[in-house]
Structure 1
Amino acid sequence: MKAVIQRVTRAAVSVGSETVGKIESGLLVLLGVAEGDTDADAEKLASKVAKLRIFSDENGKLSKSVTDIDGGILTVSNFTLCGNCSRGNRPDFTAAAKAEEAKRLYLHFIDAVERSGVKNSASGRFGADMKISAELDGPVTIVIDTDTL
């Protein structure tokens, strides 16, 4: 699994004219599920994201997690994170998990985030053409690949 995590003051995702998920202060997580990813990967990544200390304390140090600040996590599926751009200029997405398994693991990740103590969990709609709006905070952006955890 691959995740791009962005600290935000607010974020929302819509499908057509319907807002399907939104948060105030917290994290926007773009989640890519690769072929071979497992439930254990989803659990490990969700725990890591919930515990990432990338919010400032009273001294301006990055020492607080999203759960410490009672923030939210907005998770959006993004198979293009599994793209391979090593040959040519058109990405190859064959490393992305098949849709049925990717959706299962995406939902498992969201469930694991909720079980990790995040009070406001929201998500996009798997497989939909989504529009994301976000106000980045910092900006602070972290990339995590479960292959390197």
Structure 2
Amino acid sequence: MSHQSSTESISLLLVEDNPGDVRLIEEAFNTASFDVSLHTEADGDAALEFLHERAASEDGPEVDLMLLDLNLPRTGGFEVLETIKDDPKLASLPVLVLTSSEATEDIVRSYELCANAYLTKPTDPDEFADIGRAVEAFWVEEATLPPVPG
């Protein structure tokens, strides 16, 4: 998929285990001026399984962008990033880390593992809408996303 416009749709994979944060993120994207297809997985294993199914199937669901929490049950966010980075079919997937951690070592490690951006979750639920607007402004309207492998 190349440069987006606000009339096109974008497919997001949200990897988040906190149901409250999932709801806030869903609400943030429901107010976006672009069409969002949001698929949610609650742990790293399920997210990788979903991505591998997509990569293996011509009819699999497309994913344009991933929002990834670091603190996940089973397979954690860093391991998800490592797997994506090391898999030629997944390596071009843009990944935005969206986590509560402000630790410098988490930020550095995320970028070392080829995360495309690192966003800290807001502490105020009303500020989650800012995340949706930021993703729309940069990743949908400005950035050119790689084509989805098919």
Higher strand share: 1
Flag the structure with larger Rg. 1
Please say whether Structure 1 and Structure 2 have the same fold, judged by a TM-score greater than 0.5: no
With the length of structure 1 as denominator, give the TM-score of the two structures. Answer: 0.30
Question: TM-score by structure 2 length?
Answer: 0.30
